[in-house]
Amino acid sequence: MMRLISLLSLFICQCSIAQNPFIKSIYTADPSAHVWSDGRLYVYPSHDIDPARGCDLMDRYHVFSTADMVNWRDEGEILNASQVSWGRKEGGFMWAPDCAYKNGTYYFYFPHPSGTEWNKTWKIGVATSKKPASDFTPGGFIEGLSGNAMIDPSVFIDTDGKAYFYYGGGSKCQGGRLKDNMTEIDGAMQNMEGLVDFHEAAWVFKRKGVYYLTYADNTPGQNQLRYATSSSPLGPWTHHGVFLGKTGCDTNHGSVVEYKGKWYMFYHNQSLSNTGKGNLRSICVDELHFDADGSIQLVEQTKTGVSAIITKKAAAPNGTKYEAESAATGGGTSIANGATASGGKYISNLKTPDAYVEFANVNGGKKGGRATINIQHAGAAYGRVKLFVNGVDYSLLNLLSTGNATAFTGRASLTVKLNAGKSNTIRLVGVNSDVQVDYVSVNLLD
Note whether 394 and 388 are within 8 A (CB). yes
100 vs 229: CA distance, rounded Å: 22
Q: Which member of 200, 217, 286, 438 is catalytic?
A: 200
Q: Output DSSP code: residue 378.
A: E
Give me the residues paired with residue 424 across strands.
Answer: 362
Task: Tell which phi-psi region holds residue 161, choosing left (phi > 0), alpha (psi between -120 and 50) or beta.
Answer: left
Give me the residues paired with residue 312 across strands.
Answer: none
What is the CA 422 to chain-centroid distance, rounded? 30
Residue 122 C-beta-side C-alpha neighbours within 13 Å? 23
Q: Which residues of 353-382 are buried (b: 16+ CB within 10 A; e: fewer)?
A: eebbbbbeebbbbeebbbbbbbbbbbbeee
Taking alpha carbons only, the member of 333, 267, 368 closest to residue 31 is 267
Compute φ and ψ for 219, nearest 5 degrees: -55, 125
Burial class from Cβ neighbours inside 10 Å (0-12, 13-18, 19+) for residue 150 reads buried
Q: Is 30 annotated in the active site?
A: yes
C-alpha distances in angstroms, 86 versus 59, 144, 152, 175, 185? 15, 15, 18, 24, 19
Contacts with 44 (C-beta within 8 Å, 6 or more apart), sequence order: 31, 32, 33, 34, 61, 63, 97, 98, 99, 108
Q: Which member of 30, 48, 68, 152 is catalytic?
A: 30
Residues in the chain: 446
Q: How many CB atoms lie within 10 A of CB 26?
A: 24
Q: Is 286 annotated in the active site?
A: no
Compute φ and ψ for 81, nearest 5 degrees: -60, -30
Helix, strand or coil, per DSSP, at residue 9 = helix
96 vs 93: CA distance, rounded Å: 10
Active site residues: 30, 200
